[in-house]
Amino acid sequence: MALPKCISLLLFIVLLISSRAVAVSSSSSSSSSSGDNDCGIKAVYSFGDSIADTGNLLREGVDNTSFSSIARLPYGETTFGYPTGRCSNGLLMIDFIAKDLGLPYLNPYLEKDANFTYGVNFAVAGATALDASFFAEKGMMIPFTNSSLHVQLGWFKSHLKTICSSEEDCGERMRHALFMVGEIGGNDYNYAFFGKKPIQEVATIVPYVVGSIITAAKELLDMGAVRLVIPGNFPIGCIPAYLTLVNSVNPSAYDENDCLIDLNTFAMLHNVKLQKAIEVLRLLYPNAVIAYADYFRAFLYILNNADKLEHTCKFDLFMFNALITDCFEGFNKKFLHQACCGGGGGYNFDAAAMCGAPGTSVDRNPSSFVSWDGIHLTQEAYRIMEKQLFGGGYTYPSIELTKLAKCQ
């Protein structure tokens, strides 16, 4: 899966750094022009895939899909004690975002009679930025869900009609909402890569994926949104599923983090093109805050600081004695590229025996792992990711959720 020689890793690093600098330099003008929009986030609207889905795919139906195991334990066991449709052992980044804003967890749009007072989650596990017809035309694997970003945007428009009494009312709601436009696009590449498409061919669809994300963001801005967060892609060369898929015996295929260089370079290609497109979007909408969330660097932060992360413990008070429970003492460096729950092998990932399937096993201490099932992260990893994104400087311009929560 080697990249063409003309695609230089160094070039992407330079572009990524320069893009970040431009994004940061534009933050002051974006933030200042948003005026009193900096206060009062009353709702969150989330679009995306399994990184953010809180139960939509479960309600669509997971039978005969690679996500069928999310309907049973051990998914959800850590926080909920039962499967919720979240692709993790507990909470996701979107849940921690809601908590930091002082809002309830977002209910999935497809949950009948759910309370949508504080926002809606439209994300669907397995969803793509591009519609299924695109993959059919390209001769690529067809997504198992039709709930693409375009479809999710349609859901939002339908929802908005049910809660607005007037155009002014809709505008007011949009001004006091945070929009998470992704993570989305990862599955577009996943379907291609796991369908054995070469990396050079998959690279040709990057502009289409980025274009779909930017088109959706632009529609939201035209409808009155003033605060958007658009995440980039993860360093997919560090993910157990991809490490298993490639399984290269060539040491030069891996970087200092034992991640696949070619796949991480590909992820950077997507991220650089996305950031460039966001820069153009900022010029078109100078009164909006359009933030890029650097999932790539936030994830690498975890790998590089796995055993140095802060120790946190919950305290239970009983008869004036403090009992320390549920401590997080950093991730185990031996397990950085292993799934907590899986079917065995060097990375504890088997596409034919996903987490929760017969014959798979789960470690009793998920907080020691970064990866939950070889594709998605553990609750603890998502918590650290969210903290770094919205407090550690990996979102440009920065958005302080706790500050916004105090404005309500």
Q: What are the backbone angles phi and psi of residue 298, rounded to the nearest 5°?
A: -65, -40
Spatial separation of the C-alpha atoms in residues 112 and 59, rounded to whole Å: 9
Residue 17 has pLDDT above 70, yes or no: no
* Distance between first and last Cα of the chain: 50
Q: pLDDT digit string (tens) for 132-149?
A: 999 999 989 999 999 999
Q: How confident is the model at residue 65 (pLDDT cuts 50, 70, 90)?
A: confident
What's the pLDDT at 1? 56
Spatial separation of the C-alpha atoms in residues 401 and 70, rounded to whole Å: 29
Residue 320 has pLDDT above 60, yes or no: no
Q: Within its chain, how far is the Cα of 118 from the centroid?
A: 20
The yes-or-no answer on residue 373 being catalytic is yes
What's the mean pLDDT in 151-161?
A: 97
Residue with tokens 């066991």: 77
The yes-or-no answer on residue 50 being catalytic is yes
Please, is 358 exposed, middle or buried when counting C-beta atoms within 10 Å of its C-beta (0-12, 13-18, 19+)? Answer: exposed
The residue among 362 and 22 whose pLDDT is bigger is 362
What's the pLDDT at 24? 40
What's the pLDDT at 408? 45
Token pair of 133 as six digits: 């017809």
Could you tell me whether strands 43-47 and 289-293 are parallel, antiparallel, or unpaired per DSSP bridges? unpaired
- Integer angstrom CA distances of residue 320 from 119, 148, 324, 327: 39, 53, 13, 20
Q: How confident is the model at residue 67 (pLDDT cuts 50, 70, 90)?
A: confident
Spatial separation of the C-alpha atoms in residues 299 and 297, rounded to whole Å: 5
What's the pLDDT at 73? 96
Active-site annotation holder among 176, 270, 337, 376: 376
Spatial separation of the C-alpha atoms in residues 397 and 15, rounded to whole Å: 17
The yes-or-no answer on residue 371 being catalytic is no
Residue 260 has pLDDT above 90, yes or no: yes
Can you give the residue ranges of every domain in the chain? 9-307+379-406
Residue 205 has pLDDT above 60, yes or no: yes
Q: How confident is the model at residue 62 (pLDDT cuts 50, 70, 90)?
A: confident
- Integer angstrom CA distances of residue 316 from 77, 171, 326: 20, 44, 10
Q: How confident is the model at residue 23 (pLDDT cuts 50, 70, 90)?
A: very low
66-93 core/surface letters (b: 16 or more CB in 10 A; e: else): bbebbbeebbbbbeeeebbbbbbbbbbb
pTM of the model: 0.87
What's the pLDDT at 310? 62
In the CATH scheme, what architecture does the domain 9-307+379-406 have?
A: 3-Layer(aba) Sandwich (3.40)
Active-site annotation holder among 30, 50, 367, 368: 50
Report helix, strand or coil for 21: helix
Spatial separation of the C-alpha atoms in residues 262 and 4, rounded to whole Å: 10
Q: Which of 38, 126, 113, 125 is nearest to 83 (CA)?
A: 125
Residue 372 has pLDDT above 80, yes or no: yes
Q: How confident is the model at residue 100 (pLDDT cuts 50, 70, 90)?
A: very high
Q: How confident is the model at residue 167 (pLDDT cuts 50, 70, 90)?
A: confident
Helix H or strand E segment including 315: strand 312-318
Token pair of 212 as six digits: 């779909």
Active-site annotation holder among 49, 95, 350, 373: 373
Report helix, strand or coil for 117: coil
Residue 34 has pLDDT above 60, yes or no: no
194-222 core/surface letters (b: 16 or more CB in 10 A; e: else): eeebebeebbebbeebbebbbebbbebbe
